[in-house]
Amino acid sequence: MFAQTPKELADIWESQHVSRILPSDVRHKDLKVYLEQLRSLGSNVAEVGLSVSGKEIYQIEFGNGPLKVFLWSQMHGDEPTATSSLIDLFAVFQKNREASWVTKIAESMTIRAVPMLNPDGADQYIRRNLQGLDINRDAIALKSPEAQLLKKLRDDWSPNIGFNLHNQNYLTAAGMTNRQAAMSFLVVYGDAAKTTNDGHERNKRLVSAMVQALEPFISGHMGRYDDEFTPTAFGDNFSLWGTPTILIETGGLEGRSEMFLVKMNFIAIATALKALSDGSEISFDPKIYEQLPRNASGRLMSVIFRNGTIIEGEIKDGRFRMLRETIADIGVNAERRRASFPVPMVVRRIGDLKAAAGLTEYDASDFRVIGRHQPLALGGFAEMLFYRKERQIDWNAMNLERDHPPDAIYSVGRWVLGEGVVPRK
């Protein structure tokens, strides 16, 4: 069924990818370096517009066939994974121009891709553009130059298919499971009534092809994105305007680097393009897409400390006063940050978290837990001292950490003292 198997695509990516920086650390200046590499490989790269601050927005083109395929990434500045995948895709096309699967793609379609539509957001690692606008809610009002550009690129060319490339919360689960949705897909409707058409049905088969290709790598870690119609979003309006669009959302996968997810996107997109180029898309069963588990949120947390005895108290006259102790689970989530930045861990839940699952869990039942710099509280940083229960501690001590050295200290997402003392579950 696959002219080029997913395994072969993975091997090609491993040996030929040009993205070298973790996607969350890629700035606009890094993108420009990538694009120079593509140009030196023979890629057709054009500057097509400017961001609010005047940063160049680029479009890469490949092939000269009749089917028009349009992809764009990183309209949300802090959603970077697919930008690197697009760079790698066009690099692989250039490096394998003589390979039959690539010539087939080049003959059957013309591909245009805008990597990093929101360079200002990418450089600040924020969702919105420099005007504070969510470009993906600006498809109708068109107040941002980035949205105006995206609309113009579509309207001037009328592509037959669109790929809208994003990142979703890394704690999104694949259905009611404890598994992260590393990749989620949505065949986007063009209206609230969910009217279907040939392009929509074709896109379902394409997603099925992508899911099947990724199955050997991330089985159980794929989901279907919420399909509610958003009247101001681009994917929805692309579909409405006549460019049936597929939304691809990259999530997280514990223990895997961002580069692994770059590879997953590469395999998925290359698979879809190949299935379009050789007509094999017709053979894929739309049910694979339809039966994907729905994205679920609220269940997964980054870290859960189970059954700790929390020392509660208040700060009075600048000093901690213990009030009571309570046995509870502590749920902590990492905030989204660039890979090279320390990850702030924030306490998001305290209580009975049996219905939640941590990507990492610790059994704190033999320990008392106290906030390191201030009492543990929702919304506060997860800075925690752990003491074995058999120890006698004066919790109101002037300098607790010095007067009663803790058995373990958890700080900025890691054990800075006593790693392994609080056992993993």
CB of 194 to Zn ion, least distance (A): 21
For residue 116, the SS3 value is coil
Contacts of 225 by beta carbon, 8 Å cutoff, 6+ apart: 168, 184, 185, 186, 247, 249, 295
Residues 6+ apart with CB under 8 A from 215: none
Element (H, E) at 301: strand 300-316
Q: How far is the CB of 165 from Zn ion (least distance, A)?
A: 9
CB of 204 to Zn ion, least distance (A): 21
Q: 198 to 217, contacts with Zn ion by CB under 5 A?
A: none
The CB-nearest residue to Zn ion is 166
H-state helical runs in 117-229: 119-124, 145-157, 198-218
Is the Cβ of residue 104 or residue 127 nearer to Zn ion in the bound state? 127
Stretch that binds Zn ion, among 137-145, 166-174, 181-189, 361-369 (CB under 5 A): 166-174
Judging by DSSP bridges, how do beta strands 222-224 and 245-250 pair with one another?
unpaired
Local structure of residue 180 (DSSP, 8 states): B
For Zn ion, the closer of residues 10 and 268 by Cβ is 268
Q: Toward Zn ion, which CB reaches closer, 79 or 329?
A: 79
The nearer residue to Zn ion, 261 or 369, going by C-beta atoms, is: 261
> Could you tell me which stretch among 76-84, 139-147, 224-232, 349-357 binds Zn ion (CB under 5 A)?
76-84
Q: Count CA within 13 A, CB hemisphere, residue 283.
A: 9
Max distance between CA atoms of the chain, in angstroms, equals: 77
* Shortest Å distance, C-beta 230 to Zn ion: 11
Gap between the Cα atoms of 177 and 179, Å rounded:
5
The stretch near Zn ion (CB under 5 A) out of 160-168, 229-237, 258-266, 388-396 is: 160-168
Nearer to Zn ion, 234 or 410 (CB): 234
Q: How far is the CB of 79 from Zn ion (least distance, A)?
A: 5
Question: Among 5-13, 46-54, 78-86, 392-400, which window interacts with Zn ion (CB under 5 A)?
Answer: 78-86
Does 79 contact Zn ion by CB under 5 A? yes
Identified binder of Zn ion from the candidate list 17, 27, 151, 166, rule CB under 5 A: 166
User: In which region does residue 349 sit, left (phi positive, over 0), alpha (psi from -120 to 50) or beta (all else)?
Assistant: beta
Q: Which stretch binds Zn ion (CB under 5 A): 102-110, 148-156, 162-170, 218-226?
A: 162-170
Least distance in Å: CB of 376 to Zn ion? 32
Query: Whose CA is closest to 166, among 86, 56, 90, 243?
Result: 86
Pick between residue 76 and residue 205 the one whose CB is nearest to Zn ion.
76
Residues in the interface with Zn ion (CB under 5 A) total 3
With contacts defined by CB under 5 A, name the span among 42-50, 161-169, 203-211, 236-244 that binds Zn ion.
Answer: 161-169
Q: Are strands 300-316 and 183-187 parallel, antiparallel or unpaired?
A: unpaired
Which backbone phi and psi does 207 adopt, to 5 degrees?
Answer: -65, -40
**CA 252, CA 369: separation in Å to the nearest integer?**
29
Instruction: Pick the closer one to Zn ion by CB: 79 or 146.
Output: 79
Closer Cβ to Zn ion, 166 or 368, answer by number: 166
* Choice from 27, 55, 76, 306 touching Zn ion (CB under 5 A): 76
- In the complex, minimum distance from the CB of residue 83 to Zn ion, in angstroms, rounded to a whole number: 12
Per-residue buried b or exposed e for 119-144, using 16+ beta carbons within 10 Å of the residue's own CB:
bbbbbbbbbbbbeebbbbbbbeeeeb
Of the candidate spans 73-81, 109-117, 153-161, 275-283, the one that interacts with Zn ion by CB under 5 A turns out to be 73-81
| Distance between CA atoms of residues 247 and 187, nearest Å | 6
How many CB atoms are closer than 10 A to CB 256? Answer: 16
Binding site for Zn ion (CB under 5 A): 76, 79, 166
